[in-house]
Structure 1
């Protein structure tokens, strides 16, 4: 089987140095905006920050999307304008549904700052179906112990969203979605579920291959529809599988705003500038100003 038989598209990251740690972004990109409902795909770290420091992502807004935060190492404190105040730790999932509008902040908890925070994880955004774009905002935390885990010789796969390998995660989904964290030991292997409309693999660390084709780290590989293949690692790896149903209507991205309508994004820009978004209880005094030229945009 050739590379073209396996891979529909290969997306290399844009890397941003945020001072102390790097973020590697593969979606949105010029080659492709979405894989299933996934419209944003960031790897944070890995990084070990100095004692007394931490991440401080000040309050900022979102519309018409859901954010999914998943950590391999470290901890992040999440607060939002619907009143959530939760610390996420490795193996758990934070799902924040923006709907018609939400504001949140992400900061290293105090105990993490004291010892020197670790940061390593994946943050993604999901486009919402048109029927759900303007729903009420909400937040959901699913503990690591509540997510199904598939274990076999040399492999441990956690289902974060949707149904994979016959197990379904309790995490809310709006469109058909698959999302999994696959930890492979040396010599480990697992078949890749073929049922989703669109699927992609991403090697966060280590070495991996699919049916003998080497996968580069920090690269998103969009698989051909219906492909039945096996993921393997020679020395050990952490691989994310993501995807789901294909969206018929394009989604536009500008800064932290996602929508099927450009005019809705323009409205959100004006609302943020005018202070019409709600405040974050306990984190009301700071905010991120709207940028002149955002780093996150869809193409065209």
Structure 2
């Protein structure tokens, strides 16, 4: 029932170590999800914080979800939104957007923790050049179910008889699952591609045991459940319909067409993306390397 197990690779993002599970050698995408980073858990000392300077995106939606801490999101549409645990930040880049992610000054006045996930959902080819947009949904607006020691919050998409409020552009599900010791939860069987990232704890699937920091990719069509061992577990469940073809990836750009990525590279290098209001003095330069 397990198609593959992905071990994340460590990267530095804005002075903070992250572990990247997608894209990977084993798998480029799970449904539309083409990028998956675990941020933390980690702690900033007094005066320090996350500093991801303004940078561009095309052809995708960024999906930011926190377990601990807070991030201040700003983008070139003029959005300025603190992201807190349990809330959903969904930014659709489309034809192009720039944004920054930082720790707010008030939080830098004392030590602060950060723990969360940022993922990208590729846009269908027909919508890759759509107008950019931004949506934020607080934790209390996201549907939840609790049953037999399992507590699930549906962050985006459809599953388990629930529908999340954010508008998505492709059939998908994205859920935060907490399991008490011995509790289990089924995966939705209405989606072609399904994965589970073990955030904390240890789980059993089809008689196999998996520890935290593993991305599990499941075979299509199998009916299965995930059960927590030991002290319980927390997972992010994700997937959806098979995407409409592979994607080219360069830096923060995703597209089914290489020419759109080349145009985005030229536009960022020539300062043709809109600036981020309130955060327009710094930026991340284009990395000049081959795709």
**TM-score by structure 1 length?**
0.94
Which of 55, 60, 63 does residue 58 from structure 2 map onto?
63
Q: CA RMSD in A?
A: 1.4
Hey, what does 1:36 align to over in structure 2? 31
Alpha-carbon deviation of 1:70? 0.2
Work out whether 1:281 is the aligned partner of 2:277. yes
Preserved contact between residue 20 and residue 38 of structure 2 (Cα < 8 Å):
yes
Q: Secondary structure at the match of 1:195?
A: coil
Deviations, residues 124-176 of structure 1 (Å, cap 9, x unaligned): 00100111111110100011000001111211110011111111110111000
- 1:176 aligns to what? 171
Residue equivalent to 2:225: 230
Contact 2:201/2:234 (8 A) holds in 1: yes
CA distance in 2, matches of 1:187, 1:21: 34
Q: Number of aligned pairs?
A: 290
1:208 matched to which residue of 2? 203
Superposed CA offset, 1:194-229 (max 9, x none): 110100011011111113211232121110101111
Q: 2:240 aligns with which of 233, 238, 244?
A: 244
Instruction: Tell me, in whole angstroms, the C-alpha distance in 2 between the residues paired with 1:11 and 1:120.
Output: 20
- Gaps in structure 2 of 5+ consecutive residues: none
Higher strand share: 2
1:68-217, aligned counterparts within 5 Å?
68-217=63-212
Contact 1:147 1:160 in 2 (8 A): yes
Distance, in Å, in 2 between the alignment partners of 1:30 and 1:186 is: 33
- Secondary structure at 2:265's aligned position in 1? helix
Shift of 1:292: 2.8
Which deviates more, 17-26 or 222-231?
17-26
**Aligned residue in 2 for 1:270:** 266
Question: Residues of 2 paired with 1:103 and 1:254: CA distance?
Answer: 15
| SS across alignment from 2:24 | coil
